[in-house]
């Protein structure tokens, strides 16, 4: 008799514990981590190897298992979308990732998405998603400058912070975010401005905020069109037109511009000096290529925030060129490629560059 009573009591307690655990899980936000590779999934031969290592080695389940504290802030699950170094990202990778993110944010059981990514092209992917995914739910990209095997590895804290941001309601509606080195940056603005250092990513106009011990502190809001307010939609894009970048410098020739055109570029971003300056030796080739229907976009390769003014340095109206505003060359390439899925009109392209 006593054994039966004790057994029933134990069963009842176990049931209460299960219900309590289920209740706690239901109260926590649900965050999906999409892994694509990069240094954050890298491994070196020795703990002293912070710059010499193999990227894209550690699968997403091990990344999550290495940070058990994640489960205290969200119900976390992972998907391995790619396992590559980000310098090998192609337009097809962008489209595949974008469509997966768009599908996830439509699910009622997903409150936020984190994307682990190599740092070399992280800023391009972040801006692409900013343009084409329609959602108010947080989408947070994260990477690391050191592999997890290195001393003072930054990946675990970066990933913890990214999940923390993605799980919070106050991150909603702010567009795609990049969370590294305790900063929360806009996917539109942020760029990798230095290698080897953990503070590699900066925005020329400053971060949106900070994340400290799981709490967000916001300082400014993005004002350019993004996500829910974007006219572009990943579900309507199956192919991205080819856009090339040609670098401006002293003694530059028109060789790179003509080669890009011959390879089928629909637009060429001129990564110019200063205010997107174009050397005299290059101007005739760019006029000729524009006459062939190729869009010419003047950008600047000034790292701290090149700001290209229309009809300054070059008569853009006369030549029917577009200026990239404050977008660096690689982000200008992303916007041009997305915009060209909808229009070939240079005036419309310029309007898009002002608004995004």
Across the range 328-334, mean pLDDT stands at 98
List the domain boundaries for the chain: 29-229, 242-355
| Binding-site positions for substrate | 86, 119-120
**What is the value of pTM for the model shown?**
0.92
Across the range 54-62, mean pLDDT stands at 94
Token pair of 96 as six digits = 């595949």
Could you confirm whether 130 is annotated as catalytic? no
Which pLDDT score, from 0 to 100, does residue 88 have? Answer: 97
Residues 6+ apart with CB under 8 A from 268: 243, 244, 245, 246, 257, 260, 261, 286, 289, 294, 295, 296, 297
Q: Do domains 29-229 and 242-355 have the same CATH topology?
A: yes
- Tell me the per-residue pLDDT of 161-177, one tens digit each, with 9 for 90 and over: 999 999 999 999 999 99
Which pLDDT score, from 0 to 100, does residue 4 have? Answer: 60
Q: What is the rounded average pLDDT for all residues in the chain?
A: 93
Could you confirm whether 125 is annotated as catalytic? no
Q: Scanning the structure block, which residue is given the tokens 């649900």?
A: 30
Active-site option among 36, 116, 119, 168 = 119
**Minimum mean pLDDT range among 17-26, 135-144, 260-269:** 17-26
Second CATH level (architecture) for the domain 242-355? 3-Layer(aba) Sandwich (3.40)
Higher-confidence position of 2 and 215: 215
H or E, element range at 25: helix 2-27
- Tell me the per-residue pLDDT of 113-123, one tens digit each, with 9 for 90 and over: 999 999 999 99
Q: How far apart are CA 312 and CA 325, in angstroms?
A: 12
Q: How far apart are CA 34 and CA 56, in angstroms?
A: 13
Higher-confidence position of 70 and 54: 70
- Tell me the per-residue pLDDT of 10-47, one tens digit each, with 9 for 90 and over: 454 444 434 444 444 569 999 999 999 999 999 989 98
Second CATH level (architecture) for the domain 29-229? 3-Layer(aba) Sandwich (3.40)
Active-site option among 39, 121, 125, 227 = 39
- Tell me the per-residue pLDDT of 103-113, one tens digit each, with 9 for 90 and over: 999 999 999 99
| Binding-site positions | 86, 119-120
């Amino acid at each position: 008799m006593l054994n039966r009573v004790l057994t029933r009591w134990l069963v009842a307690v176990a049931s209460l514990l299960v219900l309590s655990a289920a209740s706690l899980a239901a109260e926590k936000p649900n965050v999906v981590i999409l892994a694509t590779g990069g240094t954050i999934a890298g491994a070196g031969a020795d703990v002293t190897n912070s710059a010499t290592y193999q990227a894209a080695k550690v699968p997403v389940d091990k990344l999550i298992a290495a940070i058990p504290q994640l489960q205290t802030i969200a119900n976390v699950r992972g998907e391995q979308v790619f396992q590559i170094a980000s310098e090998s990202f192609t337009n097809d990778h962008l489209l595949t990732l974008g469509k997966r993110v768009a599908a996830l944010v439509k699910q009622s059981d997903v409150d936020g998405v984190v994307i682990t990514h190599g740092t070399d092209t992280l800023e391009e992917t972040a801006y692409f998603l900013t343009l084409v995914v329609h959602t108010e739910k947080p989408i947070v990209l994260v990477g690391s400058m050191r592999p997890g095997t290195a001393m003072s590895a930054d990946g675990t804290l970066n990933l913890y912070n990214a999940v923390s941001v993605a799980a919070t309601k106050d991150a909603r509606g702010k567009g795609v975010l990049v969370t590294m080195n305790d900063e929360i940056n806009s996917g539109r603005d942020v760029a990798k401005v230095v290698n080897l250092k953990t503070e590699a990513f900066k925005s020329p106009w400053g971060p949106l905020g900070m994340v400290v011990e799981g709490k967000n502190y916001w300082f400014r809001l993005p004002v350019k069109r993004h996500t829910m307010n974007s006219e572009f939609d990943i579900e309507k894009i199956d192919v991205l037109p080819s856009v090339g970048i040609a670098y401006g410098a002293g003694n530059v020739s028109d060789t790179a511009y003509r080669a890009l055109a011959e390879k089928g570029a629909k637009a060429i971003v001129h990564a110019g000096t200063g205010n997107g300056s174009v050397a005299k030796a290059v101007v005739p080739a760019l006029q000729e290529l524009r006459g062939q229907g190729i869009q010419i976009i003047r950008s600047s390769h000034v790292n701290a925030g090149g700001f290209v003014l229309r009809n300054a340095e070059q008569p853009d109206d006369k030549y029917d060129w577009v200026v990239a505003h404050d977008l660096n060359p690689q982000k200008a390439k992303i916007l041009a490629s997305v915009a060209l899925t909808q229009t070939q009109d240079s005036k419309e392209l310029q309007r898009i560059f002002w608004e995004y």
